[in-house]
Structure 1
Amino acid sequence: MNKNITFKALKEEHFSLLLKWVETHHIKKWWDADINWTPELIEKKYSNYVKGFKHLKSKTQIIEKPMHAFIINCDGVDIGYIQYYNKHDFPPEQVYNTLELPESCAAIDWYIGELNYVGKGVGSQALNIFLNKFVFKVYENAFVDPGIANVCAIRVYEKVGFKKLWKVIVRF
């Protein structure tokens, strides 16, 4: 069943939705699980994304790198968050070598925050549209790094055409 999927540039007015979503169980399990989000933390993290960049801190300076952030809308309802950026601009959160990735490679981070839209095919439709409308107009490749136990996300990625490059198991 095809839905009318659109994307809105992230704005400060969306911050309350982000806070609601990142504190729901099905998101928190995979997205910054160790953070107790507050309105202030949401603003601190996402206010620069609204302006189109993310700070990358080195020992001697702060660099601004492009970050493209959007709200996913389905049939007039805001249902999730999605962002893309140059994968080579930011160090990986997991243990893998990004030098093995193609030069022209976007990273995608996203979620469906509204539980009523999870498991209904909306995610794969939204991701496919997003890749073609935004990502593949700038990059030749796209990269995602779901947790290996996040079977639902992995199924969506495979449905959309992603291929596994490697499996990384991180022990704490």
Structure 2
Amino acid sequence: MKFTEVNIRKMLHKDYAHMAKWLSTKEVLEFFGDVNAPFTIEQVKTKYEPRVNREVLVFPYIVELNETPAGFMQQYKISKEKQEEFGYPSPCSVYGIDQFIGEPELFNQGLGTIMVTNFIGYLFRTTDAEIIIVDPEVTNVRAIRCYEKCGFRKVKKVNEKTNWLMDFNSGRMKNL
């Protein structure tokens, strides 16, 4: 499928209903949440309202496909302690990102690659990021394949070897 217009915008209060729908979808919850605990709209509001209001330093975004919400992304700066745990030098600026496509019928069509590639470029242009990391579950083959297509490399297994730490260095931007 050819995606004609993919836009990533800041998440707004009006997006809670989409998030509640997506976070109640088995395919999304398989790797982003708990399959046995779908989110209610109140749970979404409790978790994401402080982020939307910029009260916490995790910044949420909605991915739109032809002006229709289709997915979620977020970015956050990694703490110096976590950087050291992962093996990145202190003076380096490391950001983490998380994302999912909310509509399962859009899986395996290249949308994730477009989302992640666009978001990487956005973060390097608008923040002090030098390295961007993701940590997909080792069993999430679709996400790992997407990240590798976008230029991420596997660094090491983390979280008791249940997740891959993968990174993208700003030096690889010329390949985008």
TM score, norm. by length of structure 2 = 0.80
In the TM superposition, structure 1's runs of 4+ consecutive aligned residues that sit over 2 Å from their partners are 89-92
Change (3 A) 1:112 1:163: same
Q: Which residue of 2 aligns with 1:147?
A: 137
* Aligned length, in residue pairs: 154
What 5-or-longer segments of structure 2 have no aligned partner?
163-176
- Note if 1:166 corresponds to 2:156: yes
Work out whether residues 62 and 70 of structure 2, in 8 Å CA contact, stay in contact via their aligned partners in 1: yes
Q: CA separation in 2, counterparts of 1:120 and 1:128?
A: 15
Which structure ranks higher in relative contact order (CA pairs < 8 Å, sequence separation ≥ 6)? 1
User: How big is the shift at 1:37?
Assistant: 1.4
User: How big is the shift at 1:167?
Assistant: 1.7
Change (3 A) 1:16 1:89: farther
Structure 1 window deviating more from structure 2 (154-163 vs 29-38): it is 29-38
Change (3 A) 1:19 1:166: same
Structure 1 window deviating more from structure 2 (138-147 vs 27-36): it is 27-36
Q: Which residue of 2 aligns with 1:30?
A: 31
Work out whether residues 52 and 69 of structure 1, in 8 Å CA contact, stay in contact via their aligned partners in 2: no
Q: 1:103-156 CA deviation, whole Å, 9 max, x = no partner?
A: 2111001100011211100110111011102x1121111000000000000000
Identity of aligned residues (%): 26
Q: 1:156 aligns with which of 146, 150, 153?
A: 146
User: How big is the shift at 1:88?
Assistant: 1.6
- Note if 1:109 corresponds to 2:98: yes
What 5-or-longer segments of structure 1 have no aligned partner?
55-65
Work out whether residues 3 and 122 of structure 1, in 8 Å CA contact, stay in contact via their aligned partners in 2: no
